[in-house]
Amino acid sequence: MAYEPQKSDNFTFGLWTMGNPGRDPFGEPVRKGFTPVEMVQELGKLGAYGVNFHDNDLVPFGSSAAEQDRIVAEFKTALSDNGMTVPMATTNLFGHPVFKDGAFTSNDSRVRAFALQKVMRSMDLGYDLGARVYVFWGGREGAEVDAGKDAVTAIARMRDGMNFLCEYSKSQGYDYKFALEAKPNEPRGDIYLPTTGAMLGFIATLAYPEMVGVNPEVAHETISGLNFYHAVAQAVDAGKLFHVDLNGQKVGRFDQDLRFGQEDAKNAFFLVRLLESYGFTGMKHFDAHALRTSDRADVIEFAKGCMRTYLILKEKAKQFDADPVVQEILAHLNTSGDAESDTLLDGGFTKEKGDALKSRVFDVDALTAKSLPYEKLDQRTFEILHGVA
Select 75 or 320, whichever has its Cβ closest to ligand GCO: 75
Note whether 304 binds ligand GCO by CB under 6 A: no
Site for ligand GCO, residues 35 to 54, rule: CB under 6 A? 54
Give the nearer residue to Mn ion in terms of CB position, either 42 or 245.
245
d(CA 354, CA 292): 61
Contacts of 207 (CB under 8 A, 6+ apart): 163, 166, 167
42 binds Mn ion (CB under 5 A): no
Evaluate whether 250 touches 256 at the Cβ level (below 8 Å).
Answer: yes
Is 256 a binding residue for ligand GCO by CB under 6 A? The answer is no
Among 217, 221, 263, 264, binds Mn ion (CB under 5 A): 217
244-246/284-286 β-pairing: parallel
DSSP β-bridge partners for residue 177: 133
| Binding-residue pattern over the window 208 to 237 for ligand GCO, x denoting contact by CB under 6 A | ---------x--------------------
Neighbours of 369 (CB within 10 A): 8
Which one of the spans 29-37, 134-142, 314-322, 373-381 is the region binding ligand GCO (CB under 6 A)? 134-142
* 245 lies in the binding site for ligand GCO (CB under 6 A): yes
Catalytic site residue from 9, 24, 54, 285: 54
| Catalytic residue flag (residue 57) | yes
389 residue type, one letter? A
Q: Is 287 in the site for Mn ion (CB under 5 A)?
A: yes
Does the annotation count 150 as an active-site position? no
Q: HSE (CB half, 13 Å, CA atoms) of 251?
A: 7
Whole-angstrom distance, CA of residue 325 vs CA of residue 377? 8
Residue 135 contact, options Mn ion, ligand GCO, none, Cβ 5-8 Å cut-off depending on partner type? ligand GCO
Measured over the CA atoms of residue 373, residue 379, residue 382 and residue 383, the dihedral's sign is negative
- How far lies 169's CA from each of 25, 86, 203, in Å? 36, 18, 16
Give the separation between CA 72 and CA 129, rounded to whole angstroms. Answer: 8
CA distance 165 to 116: 7
| Residue 255 binds ligand GCO, judged by CB under 6 A | yes
Contact region with ligand GCO (CB under 6 A), list: 27-35, 133-141, 331-339, 375-383: 133-141
- Residue 161 and residue 167: Cα distance in Å, rounded? 10
Site string for ligand GCO, 65-94 (x = CB under 6 A): -------------------------x----
Question: Of the listed 57, 255, 264, 287, which one is catalytic?
Answer: 57
Nearest approach in angstroms of CB 183 to ligand GCO is: 6
From candidates 137, 176, 228, 310, binder to ligand GCO by CB under 6 A: 137
Residue 268 CB, shortest distance to ligand GCO, in Å, is 17
CB of 134 to Mn ion, least distance (A): 14
> Following CA atoms 103, 109, 113, 114 in sequence, which dihedral angle do they give, to the nearest 10 degrees?
-60
DSSP state of 34: P
Q: Interface with ligand GCO includes 183 (CB under 6 A)?
A: yes
Based on CB atoms, which residue is closest to ligand GCO, 130 or 187? 187
**DSSP states along 324-364:** HHHHHHHHHHHS---HHHHHHHTT---HHHHHHHHHPPP-H
Contact between 101 and ligand GCO per CB under 6 A = no
Bridge partners for 143 per DSSP: 190
Total residues contacting ligand GCO by CB under 6 A comes to: 11
Among the listed residues 245, 300, 308, 316, the single contact to Mn ion using CB under 5 A = 245
Residue 42, contacted partner among Mn ion, ligand GCO, none, CB below 5-8 A by kind: none
Binding status of residue 57 toward Mn ion by CB under 5 A: no
Taking the complex as a whole, the smallest distance from the CB of residue 325 to ligand GCO amounts, in Å, to: 38
Query: Which of left, alpha, beta for 195 (phi over 0: left; psi -120 to 50: alpha)?
Result: beta
Q: Is the dihedral of CA 63, 64, 67, 71 positive or negative?
A: positive
H/E run at residue 13: strand 11-14
Asked whether position 264 contacts ligand GCO by CB under 6 A, the answer is no
Interaction site with Mn ion (CB under 5 A) = 217, 245, 287
The residues that are catalytic are 54, 57
Interaction site with ligand GCO (CB under 6 A) = 54, 90, 135, 137, 139, 181, 183, 217, 245, 255, 287
